[in-house]
């Protein structure tokens, strides 16, 4: 009897040890990629690899992305991006209260860092295991990369609408026929019009929706199938926001 208990205990300890070692190895794999991406751009992400269609994505350095687009995305997606360390606890509390009031999941509070972690390594499924891994990766991102680099990565790898469109540059060319860079491109190049504040708000609205595939093109321009107030809300928040720290960081 005692011998059987000892054997069972050893098996349990070995199993737990193997599980812990496996989890640590996975975290080291994530951390190694994050360190690498501090200097080099990702060639692909978990979300891109799951696409059934050809991915449209073109990397644009942070300094060349339109300041209007950068500010609009921060305002729409994560207004306290510069103030938190990956988790916006105030928004989390508000979202929990709203979900409890409605009796179902109607609001989220993911920050830009959390969304970047999900886009780079994970999937869009809703599970506690995925959220726990997302939290761990978010902590790594915030303690390894600068806010500027996190935003640069996010603007280049986030999914912007249907058709396998990833990143601000591919979105600007695909949806608006223009480039996302702040300066006018050379003669004869695609998208030879400046990316203005209104386009920045419109692009941010795409990201603001629960699903980027909720957008459709109509004869009169762009509209949302799910929430017609999303674009107006993004433009209003963009006009109202006057954070000096954002203007400095998003320049």
Hey, which residues does 96 pair with through a beta bridge? none
What does the pLDDT read at residue 133? 93
Residues 119 and 223 in one domain: yes
List the chain pLDDT tens, one digit each, 251 residues: 677 777 888 788 888 888 888 889 999 999 999 999 999 999 899 999 888 788 889 899 998 888 888 888 888 888 889 888 989 888 888 878 877 777 766 567 789 999 999 999 998 788 888 889 999 999 999 999 999 999 999 999 998 877 788 988 888 887 776 665 654 343 333 333 455 554 544 454 444 443 444 444 443 444 444 444 444 544 554 444 444 445 555 55
**Predicted structure pTM score:** 0.75
The CA-atom distances, in angstroms, between 142 and each of 31, 77, 137, 248 are: 11, 17, 9, 19
Residues 168 and 228 in one domain: yes
Residues 119 and 19 in one domain: no
Cα 81 from Cα 25, distance rounded (Å): 30
What does the pLDDT read at residue 139? 95
Cα 87 from Cα 46, distance rounded (Å): 22
What does the pLDDT read at residue 240? 46
Task: Look at the chain and count its residues.
Answer: 251
Say if residues 17 and 132 touch (Cβ distance below 8 Å). no
The string of pLDDT tens digits covering residues 148-192 is 999 999 999 998 877 788 988 888 887 776 665 654 343 333 333
Neighbouring C-alpha atoms within 13 Å toward the C-beta of 179: 20
Residues 124 and 43 in one domain: yes
Q: What's the N-to-C CA distance of the chain in angstroms?
A: 71
What does the pLDDT read at residue 195? 52
What does the pLDDT read at residue 119? 92
Residues 99 and 127 in one domain: yes
Residues 25 and 144 in one domain: no
What does the pLDDT read at residue 71? 84
Domain that holds residue 119: 37-249
What does the pLDDT read at residue 94? 84
CA nearest 109: which of 135, 140, 72? 135
What does the pLDDT read at residue 45? 93
How many structural domains does the chain have?
A: 2
Say if residues 157 and 45 touch (Cβ distance below 8 Å). yes
Residues 183 and 141 in one domain: yes
Say if residues 176 and 222 touch (Cβ distance below 8 Å). no
Residues 71 and 25 in one domain: no
Residues 23 and 77 in one domain: no
């Amino acid at each position: 009897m005692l011998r059987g208990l000892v054997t069972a205990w050893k098996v349990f300890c070995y199993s737990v040890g193997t599980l812990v070692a496996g989890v640590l190895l996975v975290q080291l794999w994530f951390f190694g990629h994050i360190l690498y991406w501090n200097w080099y751009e990702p060639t692909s992400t978990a979300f891109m690899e799951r696409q059934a269609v050809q991915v449209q994505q073109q990397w644009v350095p942070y300094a060349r992305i339109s300041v209007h687009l950068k500010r609009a995305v921060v305002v729409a997606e994560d207004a306290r991006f510069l103030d938190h360390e990956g988790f916006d606890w105030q928004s989390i509390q508000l979202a929990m209260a709203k979900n409890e009031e409605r009796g179902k999941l109607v609001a989220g509070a993911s920050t830009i860092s959390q969304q970047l972690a999900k886009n780079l390594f994970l999937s869009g499924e809703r599970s506690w295991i995925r959220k726990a891994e997302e939290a761990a990766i978010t902590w790594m991102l915030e303690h390894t990369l600068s806010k500027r680099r996190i935003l640069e990565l996010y603007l280049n790898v986030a999914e912007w609408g249907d058709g396998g469109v990833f990143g601000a540059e591919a979105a600007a060319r695909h949806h608006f026929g223009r480039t996302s860079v702040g300066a006018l491109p050379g003669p004869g190049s695609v998208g030879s019009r400046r990316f203005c504040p209104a386009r920045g708000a419109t692009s941010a609205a795409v990201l603001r929706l629960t699903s980027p595939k909720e957008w459709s093109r109509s004869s009169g321009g762009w509209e949302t199938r799910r929430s017609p107030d999303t674009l107006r809300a993004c433009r209003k928040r963009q006009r109202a926001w006057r954070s000096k720290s954002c203007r400095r960081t998003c320049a």
